[in-house]
Amino acid sequence: MTNTTSETSPKDAQGAISDFGIDTTSQSTGEAVRDYVARVRGGELGSLPALLGLVVLLIAFSSLADTFLTLGNIANLLAQGASIVIIAMGLVFVLLLGEIDLSAGTASGVCASVMALHLVKGGNLLGGMGSTVFYVFCAMLALAIVLASLMKVWPGAALAAVALVISLVGVPANPWVEMLLAVCVGAAIGSITGFLVAKVGIPSFVVTLALFLAWGGVVLQFIGQGGTLGLNNEVLFNVANGNLDTAGSWILFVLAAGGYAAVVLGRHFSRLRKGLVAQPTPMVLTKVGVVVVLAAAATYALTLNRSVSPRVVIAGVPYVVPLVLVLLVIGTFALERTRYGRHVYAVGGNKEAARRAGINVAQIRMSVFVIASSLAAIGAIVYSSKVGSVDPNAGGGNTLLLAVGAAVIGGTSLFGGKGRLRDAVIGGAVLAIIQNGMGLLKQPAAVVFIVTGLVLLLAASVDALSRRRAANAAR
């Protein structure tokens, strides 16, 4: 009887491996550099333009403004840009699908006003809003629960339910309850927005433009024309204005820098052990070393006393830094290391192909609006803490434009399918430096708006040109 079972010889296995050499062999330093240059020339620019712009701005403003690189200004810069960066992080999820959320700014204002109203009225939203407005508000929360449940976006349903319970029970005022309430209201807003876009099928531009106007009116209704709600609470004040002590700052450095090094090096050596393609070890070690050294230098600088008064000590890393880092790590992990993240990129790359692959496209589309509005609420908490109050203009003005600009300038594409959460941080840093530097140079608001608009236009142009170049290179 003839044995038809064949066994793969070592020579055949080696030949099979050679067919996929780029996937199973390490790169030399020269090969890695040539590969990166080829990808850049092919239109895969990523955050490179924003990083180059960041370096140019740092050099320019440090030479033009003597106080730009002072410790006090650097710490203030971090607090100033944090709210926009956080809102931009949420918008990255929306932009990855090729959608837009024009209501993120005013939605953040609604979250801030509910938070402030609950604090000022001692937890009695019924007395603060009036019976009619309060019951409409609760009905909207209930609607959000139903819509999120229908779409099986369970985090949105759960958070909206928490907001409804806090509102109906009349939980006493507490800074932690207020912040939780703000985030839960944001999730409810995102559930309504996402359902209208994903299930009803209204274009996101139309839905969010309408809600941009509607939420602005809601903020005005909650606070009143010309009114202001003060956040007279130490915990809420310290969100954007407080600092870690020296020990806490160095613990943060160890956790952040050590965690980054462990993840990058662990991933690198794991690929080497499995015989997969990997960057040259010296390049990886250099990258990790640069990040660790810069983080150590920044931590040391921020732990020095930056007070202008000899009787007051202001030192330590601002609280907003670990807040942004935690959101960045969680969001990056969700996008790059989970099935959900792969589905987001798949829907953003080709919605019809994703649907045919079995992905629940409507659920993914709705979920990104829940995430965006929830992060907009956190951004609202940070901004309200910075200014110490909430007024009828909360979330209005150029809040949305700066948040979208931060994501796009950092490298997230307006056409969907391309971008990372770190883009929001890089782009937010660019915008914060422009505004801060222009302010130090005493430039009028008109000049600041013009420069910011031109930078955003340049970033959008780079995105369009890089996509065209990538498409031509693929042919």
- Per-chain mean pLDDT for the chain: 87
188 inside domain: yes
Q: Is residue 292 part of a domain?
A: no
Residue 299 lies in a domain: no
Res. 294 pLDDT band, cuts 50 70 90: very high
pLDDT, residue 312, reads: 84
Cα 107–Cα 112–Cα 113 angle in degrees, nearest 5:
95
Give the strand pairing for 229-230 and 389-390.
antiparallel
Nearest to 387 by CA among 226, 177, 225, 230: 230
Phi and psi at 442, nearest 5°, equal: 60, 40
DSSP-derived letter for residue 318 is B
Spell out the residues 6+ positions from residue 195 whose beta carbon is closer than 8 angstroms to its own. 147, 148, 150, 151, 366
Q: Report pLDDT digits (tens) over 160-195.
A: 999 999 999 989 999 999 999 999 999 999 999 999
Domain membership of residue 449 (yes or no) is: no
pLDDT one-digit tens code per residue, 99-150: 999 999 999 999 999 999 999 999 999 988 999 999 999 999 999 999 999 9
Please report whether residue 254 resides in a domain: yes
Number of domains in the chain: 1
Residues 6+ apart with CB under 8 A from 104: 87, 90, 91, 208, 372, 373, 376, 399, 400, 403
Residue 240 sits in which domain range? 78-260+313-430
Candidate from 46-60, 128-142, 238-252, 460-474 with smallest mean pLDDT = 460-474
pLDDT digits (tens, 9 = 90+) for 210-265: 999 999 999 999 998 778 899 989 999 999 999 999 999 999 999 999 999 999 99
Whether residue 107 lies inside any domain: the answer is: yes
Q: 74-87 b/e with 16+ CB inside 10 Å = b? A: bbbbbbbbbbbbbb
pLDDT tens-place string over residues 317-327? 999 999 999 99
What's the pLDDT at 417?
82
**What angle, rounded to 10 degrees, do the helices at 48-64 and 445-474 form?**
150
**Rounded Cα distance, 343 and 59, in Å:** 40
- Per-residue pLDDT band at 15 (split at 50, 70, 90): very low
Confidence band of 19 (pLDDT split at 50, 70, 90) = very low
The type of residue at 257 is A
Strands (E), 229-388: 229-230
What mean pLDDT comes out for the span 25-45?
69
* Distance, CA of 56 to CA of 70 (rounded, Å): 18
pLDDT of residue 132: 94
Cα–Cα separations (whole angstroms), residue 461 to 49, 349, 458: 11, 20, 5
Amino acid residing at 76: N
Going from the C-alpha of 252 to that of each of 76, 77, 303, 307, 447, the distances in angstroms are 19, 19, 12, 22, 38
Place of tokens 């090729």: 98
Q: Which residue has the tokens 């700014």?
A: 105
Query: Do the domain assignments include residue 59?
Result: no
Q: What is the 3-state secondary structure (H, E, C) of 42-101?
A: CCCCCCHHHHHHHHHHHHHHHHHCCCCCCHHHHHHHHHHHHHHHHHHHHHHHHHHCCCCC
How far is the C-alpha of 459 from the C-alpha of 47, rounded, in Å?
A: 10
DSSP conformation letters of 150-166: HTT-HHHHHHHHHHHHH
3-class DSSP state for residue 9?
coil
pLDDT tops 60 at residue 388: yes
Q: Report whether 125 contacts 235 (CB < 8 A).
A: no
Domain assignment of residue 17, yes or no: no
Helix (H, G, I), strand (E, B) or coil at 225: coil
